[in-house]
Structure 1
Amino acid sequence: MLCSTCRLRPPVTGDGRCALCAGVPAAPAFHAPQQYLRSPEGLAKAVVVLLSAVAAADVLAVAAGANMRRLITTGMADGYASVSDEEAELADNLYAGAGGLQALAFLATAVVFLIWFHRVRHNAEIFDRSTQPMRPGWAIGGWFIPIANLVLPRRVAGGIWTASAQTNTDGSWRHVPATVMNLWWGVWICSLLFSRFAQRRYLAAESPQEIVDATGLVMATDALDVVAAVLAVLFVRKLTRMQGERAALGVYPLGTGPVA
């Protein structure tokens, strides 16, 4: 059974409302839970910068891919008479270099993003533990389980979003649409799956035409990843801002407290 008002938490009153909706004060043992909150703002700024680097690397990869396709297409038309060895080598180096930059930017972003994600999950445990569908460790572990990582991080993010949604000053619940989170996750999953398909096609390509076609698929993946990066920036900034607003209100349900 859930609260008759917000439909998010277990009821604690006789009329079926949860502690937050009923205005029940926080447990005395945790009279100042604010001291256990950890600001995610610094990490969020770092994640935004790194996501911007990811998007920039993707744009460079698209440009390098377009140059590669142009040279191969031109060469196919005249037997490669108009394409010098220097041009071909430069195109290969640019394409490989762009791929290396993508890998480095993604790795750095993944590490800092996971730290930020765990931080906001830590705060969500204090804001409202009853709205969390999974334990805090899943904020990191959920990303590393094959197939399940297509679902688990979104479940964790949903709980964080719910707990971080700003309440009204009287402690009553106020719904905050999760549109940006849903768009980010949907585009990210599409980019991930399409990337695997495109990479398989590229590695299996043998003829010049197959390479041109596969390179086009990889370019489309890179463009989709740019969109995912932009939406991730919006998600990180929005959730970080929500947690700041939520912490400023100082309204916590019964039974919350410090977490390790």
Structure 2
Amino acid sequence: MLCTRCRIRTAVTDDGLCTFCSGTRPPLPEDMKPRATGPGGWGVGDWPRSPVGLSWAVTALLGTVIATDLVAIVSGLHLRGVWKDLAADFTAGPGSRVPSADHLHDTLTDVQSTAFLVTGILFILWFHRTRRNAEVFDPSVQKMGPGWAVGGWFVPVANLWFPYRVADGIWTGSAPIGPEGGRTAVPRALLNFWWALWIATLLSDQLTARAQDTSMEPEQQAHALALVAAADALEIVAAVLAILFVRALTRMQVQRAAQSLVPATPPVPGAHR
């Protein structure tokens, strides 16, 4: 029988709750139990660990992604103009300008890809650290294990949803504790908008790749480059939201770590232990 509260996990208590919802989840592994704490409540050699340094690195790299996208848009629009001139069959011989413009655009695309790859690696490291921290802050709301904070990005189809489930658990578990000892409600609008834009960029990349692969004529090339510029613009917006998401979640964990490291959700009365 499924848990009567979350409708996801198997019920284990007489009142129909799972181990998460009933507060009877097994204790944290020894390497994740907070012991000695340093300034600000961060663990010394144990969990939780500060995500601040990684967050600044990710923020800087996301800024680099934005910069490379802007340059690529300018280069792509220039190349698009060259193809449009060629499609119009101007006598000035625009075809001679295509190789150099195309080479510049390809070079900038490689720089884009490199910046995106490095940013992705650092982002996943930061994401995994915040997930491990959330396990200490409040394990009762974590729907996915810490390993999915890394592996969830690489599973086909599931990567459209699994990382969001991980992020949702981190966001909820990292919420600061209120005056009455309960978890404060933090709006999920930023989390939802960031994830929606991320999915939109994945879909737009698929569309632009297909358009470029099927482009044969100059007019088709120009159209494909317009789609690429639009996809890059969408990626810029997604990167801005990613920066806001990283900064907001890091601030939440900093505030949460400064508080007592006790579960934000008290056990359900009457649950069997």
Q: TM-score, normalised by structure 2?
A: 0.80
- State the partner residue of 1:10: 21
- State the partner residue of 1:169: 179
Q: 1:229 aligns with which of 232, 239, 249?
A: 239
Whether the aligned pair in 1 keeps the contact of 2:72 and 2:105 (CA below 8 Å) is yes
The unaligned stretches of length 5 or more in structure 2 are 7-19, 25-32, 38-42, 268-273
Report % sequence identity. 43
169-178 or 40-49, which deviates more: 169-178
Answering whether residue 223 of structure 2 is matched by residue 213 of structure 1, we say yes
The unaligned stretches of length 5 or more in structure 1 are 4-8, 13-17, 19-29, 256-260
- State the partner residue of 1:50: 61
RCO comparison, higher one (Cα < 8 Å, 6+): 1
Answering whether residue 127 of structure 2 is matched by residue 100 of structure 1, we say no
Corresponding residue pairs, total: 234
**What per-residue deviation string (whole Å, max 9, x for no partner) do you get for residues 94-153 of structure 1?**
211110111100110011011000000010000011100011100000000001000000
Compare the two structures and name the one with the higher helix fraction: 1
Letter in 2 for 1:237: R
Whether the aligned pair in 1 keeps the contact of 2:178 and 2:184 (CA below 8 Å) is yes
212-221 or 75-84, which deviates more: 75-84
Letter in 2 for 1:241: R
Pairing 1:1-260 to 2, within 5 Å after superposition:
1-2=4-5, 10-11=21-22, 32=35, 34=37, 35=43, 36-79=47-90, 81-83=92-94, 85=96, 87-253=97-263
- Give the 3 Å change call, closer, same or farther, for CA 231–98 of structure 1 in structure 2: same
Q: How far, CA to CA, are the matches of 1:94 and 1:218 in structure 2?
A: 15
**What per-residue deviation string (whole Å, max 9, x for no partner) do you get for residues 172-208 of structure 1?**
2210001111111000101111111111111110011
Q: How far, CA to CA, are the matches of 2:223 and 2:81 in structure 1?
A: 12
Letter in 2 for 1:61: A
Whether the aligned pair in 2 keeps the contact of 1:171 and 1:251 (CA below 8 Å) is no
Q: How far, CA to CA, are the matches of 2:53 and 2:34 in structure 1?
A: 26
